Amino acid sequence: MIREGAGFRELPPAAIVPEPGTSLKNKTGSWRIFRPVVDREKCSKCRICWLLCPEGCKIELEDCFETDLDYCKGCGICAQECPYKAIEMVLEEGSSIA
C-alpha cells in the first residue's frame, strides 16, 4: 500500500496501483453518512435491493437481506426501491447534515 502523505518521488508513476486487490484494503464504507437498517419482519427477500445495489453490498441471510457495511456508501437506493419499505436510512453516529 502507498503511504499516506507520500511525496511525488516516492509515489509509483502515473498514479498506477502496482499491486492487485487493494480495494479489499480500502474500506469505502467510511464515506457513508446514512446507514441502511432493515426491518426483518417486513423484508420478503424479493431481491430488489440485491439487484439494484450499485456496490454489490447486499448479503443474503436466512430471513432477510443485510448490508456489507465495509463497502456500503449509504446511497439509499435500496431504501428508495424496497417495495415493502423494509429499509430505513439512519444517520451514522458522528455524522450530521446541515
Partner 1 sequence: MPKQAVISGNMAAAYAAKYARVDVIAAYPITPQTTAIEYLSQWVASGELDAEFVPAESEHSAMTICIAASASGARTFTATASQGLALMHEMLYIASGLRTPVVMMIGNRSLSSPLSIWNDHQDSMAERDAGWIQMYAENVQETFDMGLMCYRVGEDSRVMLPAMFCIDGFFLTHTYQNVVLPDQEQVDEFLPPYSPKYRLDPSNPIAMGTVGDPRWYMEFAKQKVEAMEAARGVVEEAHRDFEKIFGRRYDPFIERFHCNDADYIFITMGSVSGTFRHVVRELRKEGASVGLVRIRTFRPFPYEELREAISGAKVVGIVDRSISFGAMKSCGPLFLEVRAALYEQEKKPKTVNLILGIGGRDTTPSMVRECFKKLESVDERREFDVFWIGLRE
Q: Collect all residues with Cβ–Cβ distance below 8 Å to 54 and sequence separation of at least 6.
A: 75, 77
Please, which residue, 45 or 73, has the CB nearer to partner 1? 73
- One-letter amino acid at 69 equals L
6 binds partner 1 (CB under 8 A): yes
Is the CB of residue 8 less than 8 Å from the CB of residue 18?
no
- CB 75 → partner 1: shortest distance, Å? 18
Which residue among 1, 15, 97, 98 contacts partner 1 (CB under 8 A)?
A: 15
- CB 20 → partner 1: shortest distance, Å? 4
Burial profile 66-89: b = 16 or more Cβ within 10 angstroms, e = fewer: bbeeebbebbbbbbeebeeebbeb
31 binds partner 1 (CB under 8 A): no
Of 2-10, 42-50, 51-59, 77-85: span binding partner 1 (CB under 8 A) = 2-10
Nearest partner of 40 among 6, 88, 80, judged by Cα: 88
**Binding positions for partner 1, rule: CB under 8 A:** 6-8, 11-20, 22
